[in-house]
Amino acid sequence: MRADRTLLHDTGLAVLLAAGSLVFYLLFDQAAWEAQGQLAQVHAPDLLGSLLVALSAAPVAVRRRWPLAALSVCVAIDTLIDALGYSVGRIGIASLVLLYSVAARRGLAMSMAGLLVTLLAYLAGSLAGSATLSVPGHVLVVFVFTAAWGLGRTIRLRRAYLDELRDRADRLERAKEADTRAARAEERSRIARELHDVIAHHVSVMTVQAAAARKVLRSDADLAGEALTAVEDTGRKAMAEMRAMVSVLRAGSPAELGPQPGMSALPALVEQMREAGLPTRLDVGGEPPQLPAGIDLAAYRLVQEALTNSLRHAGPGASAVVGVRYPPEGLPGALPGALPGGLPGGLPGGLPGGLEVSVRDDGRGPMGPVKQTGHGLAGIRERVALYGGILNIGPLPGGGFEVRATFPLKDGR
Q: How far apart are CA 261 and CA 299, in angstroms?
A: 10
- CA gyration radius, the chain: 44
* Predicted model pTM: 0.47
Give, as one character, the DSSP assignment of residue 143.
H
Beta bridge partners, 402, equal 360, 394
The band of 158, judged by pLDDT with boundaries at 50, 70 and 90, is: very high
φ/ψ of 301, rounded to 5, equals -65, -35
Q: How far apart are CA 340 and CA 337, in angstroms?
A: 9
Q: Is the dihedral of CA 79, 81, 83, 87 positive or negative?
A: negative
**Mean pLDDT, all residues of the chain:** 77
Q: How far apart are CA 183 and CA 171, in angstroms?
A: 18
Task: Note the pLDDT tens digit of each residue in 59-76.
Answer: 988 888 888 999 989 888
Task: Choose among 360, 361, 358, 345: nearest CA to 389.
Answer: 358
DSSP string for 171-217: HHHHHHHHHHHHHHHHHHHHHHHHHHHHHHHHHHHHHHHHHHHHHTT
**Mean pLDDT comparison of 144-148, 227-231, 235-239, 329-333, highest-scoring range:** 144-148
Task: Note the pLDDT tens digit of each residue in 295-328.
Answer: 888 899 899 888 888 888 877 778 899 999 988 7
Bigger pLDDT: 277 vs 67: 67
Cα 216 vs. chain centroid, distance in angstroms? 60
Beta bridge partners, 406, equal 356, 390
Task: Choose among 200, 219, 383: nearest CA to 296.
Answer: 383
- Residues 197/301, Cβ–Cβ less than 8 Å: yes
- Residues 269/302, Cβ–Cβ less than 8 Å: no
pLDDT at residue 371 tops 50: no
